[in-house]
Amino acid sequence: MEKTKSKSVRARSSATPASKPTTKPNSVSKPIELPDGMWERIAQKAYELYEQRGGREGMSLEDWLEAEAIVMEEIHEARE
């Protein structure tokens, strides 16, 4: 009986049409321009995070994203 169930489940799932994306992919867009010195600040902070972890490889994206958040927060706090 289980074979029959699995066959009917497969038949139903394969009969479902694939959904198409509802939005068009963006054409090539211009990258966001950062204010002067911001890229360098983020890079420096990412390197500091890398060193704090003991120089362990394989987390450069996480370091960069965390550094961006830290730098953006510093800028936000300075404006208040």
pLDDT for 58:
93
Which tops the pLDDT comparison, 34 or 4? 34
Share of the chain above pLDDT 90, in %: 44
Residue 24 falls within a domain, yes or no? no
- Whether this prediction's pTM lies above 0.95 is answered by no
**Per-residue pLDDT reduced to its tens digit, 13-46:** 445 555 555 665 556 677 778 778 899 999 999 9
Residue 15 falls within a domain, yes or no? no
Number of structural domains found in the chain: 1
State the pLDDT confidence band at 10, using cuts at 50, 70 and 90: very low
Residue 19 falls within a domain, yes or no? no
Among residues 72, 51, 71, 49, which one has the least CA distance to residue 61?
A: 49
Using alpha carbons, list the distances in angstroms from residue 7 to 15, 16, 17, 18, 58: 12, 15, 18, 20, 43
Locate 7 and state its tokens.
């066959």
Locate 38 and state its tokens.
């911001």
Residue 40 domain boundaries: 34-80
What beta strand segments (E) does the chain contain? none
